Amino acid sequence: MTDRDLLFMPATAAASLIRKRALSPVEYVDAVLGAVERTQPTLNAYATVTADAARAQARVAEQAVMAGERLGPLHGIPINIKDLFATKGVRTAHGSAILADNVPAQDDILVTRLKNAGAIMVGKSTTPEFGHKGHTDGPSFGTTRNPWNTAHTAGGSSGGAAVAVAAGLGPLGLGTDGAGSIRIPAGACGVVGLKPTTGAVPYEQTSDSFFNYAAAGPLTRTVADAALMMNSLVGPSTLDPWSLGAPDNGALTPSLISEDLSGLRIGYLSAMGDCSADVAANAKASLTALAALGAEVEEAGAGMDWIAGPARLMYLANLNVYFGHHLEKWRDQMDPVLVEWIAAGSRATLVDFRKAQIARSRLYRAVQKLLEDYDFLVTPTLPTTAIAAETGKTVDALFNRGWNAFVYPFNQSGNPALSVPNGFGADGLPTGLQIVGRWWKDNDVLRLGAILERSRPWADRRPPT
């Protein structure tokens, strides 16, 4: 097996080989760290590389295998952790000069769970400042670039995680998604990205637990790897009230256990937003593949109000509340886009904000009503393939270009939403399909993604970088 084959091996396969003593965790981690070192100058996927610690943990992992100890499901598997999650003894800068010296005293609960499952952190992946936008660049670390074409954006805000997975710099990434921040880079970079049901995975990063619309979730090359990682992430935390009422991860809907999708109803939200011809063609080809397996596919959601204005107002107002107090001291070292968005958020009134919250409730109810008629809702993940990397440095980097038009509503509604690669555009860059399910049906969403993955394989494609 070549190093390149090893780097692009699914985590499920690597974990099996490690258990069989056919793959050394030490050699695996060394291969990943070597690839990180080679690509960091061009891709810039990592904010911090924890090479020494990763190699030490790999040696311990190998000793455990040789001693016949009980192994976790991710034993010996390299992983990147987005630089928004607290990591004990490792800088967590949130992509910002403000927190350049922040070294947490303990791990986030999800980092703890992944380590307990045997995963080995090789570094902290890049994020725009405080994860505020759908492109991954910033004055503190530069620009993270798309491995399929480095002139194009990686998406964001979990851009480093998606790039690392797409480029073979570790098969697993832990990201966050507050307005598409897992699914946007997944779509742009040609990987799998799941925003779970709000509360399925505890999210302790939010400043306002009760108003939260963000989630943590996996970025991987295959759907099976996302499912494997999810099994280690799910479960309640007393610090996240949404997670306390979460059921078990959930059994699969019977109709999804086989690939006979007869009777399964899929609503295609074709009127949700405009997209390029190649993105639309790939979405329709994916739906045709599911229909060939028996699914009933029809247009849905005509006339829906996706509350773009209210969602934007809430997002910007929250940025002002969370980060506006930094402006007096740090303005000149902050991302100009964040500074402008904080200013925009400062102009929102309390009445405006409450009206936006009420609009969110209307959207939530409308989405749930739609899912009474359909088992799944489907959209393209992004309206186009990855746009120019420099776009992220402009004030209209996210909202005015409709970059997250298909993804943000499902943060507001809380439904699980999965982006799966579904082909390539005319420019050779990946496209993605978003699959949205009912609350707590994360496993069903993953299963339908896996069926599409087998029907239209993509994981054998590798970027040139």
Phi and psi torsions of 80, nearest 5°: -105, 145
Within 8 A by CB and 6+ apart from 300, the residues are 267, 268, 269, 370, 373, 374, 377
CA–CA separation, 232 vs 110, rounded Å?
8
What does the alpha-carbon distance between residue 265 and residue 141 come to, in Å, rounded to a whole number?
Answer: 45
Does 419 qualify as catalytic in the annotation? no
| C-alpha–C-alpha distance, residues 108 and 454, integer Å | 34
Q: Are strands 215-220 and 172-177 parallel, antiparallel or unpaired?
A: antiparallel
Told to judge if 124 belongs to the known catalytic residues of this protein, a careful annotator would answer no
**Pick the catalytic residue: 96, 125, 140, 157?**
157
> Which of 181, 243, 270, 419 is the catalytic position?
181
Asked whether the beta carbons of 4 and 34 are under 8 A apart, the reply is: no
Query: What's the half-sphere exposure (Cβ side, CA atoms, 13 Å) at 359?
Result: 18
Q: Strands 430-436, 120-125: parallel, antiparallel or unpaired by DSSP?
A: unpaired
Alpha-carbon span 79 to 160, nearest angstrom: 12
- The answer to whether residue 181 is catalytic is yes
Distance of alpha carbon 147 from alpha carbon 42, whole angstroms: 9
Catalytic residues: 82, 157, 181
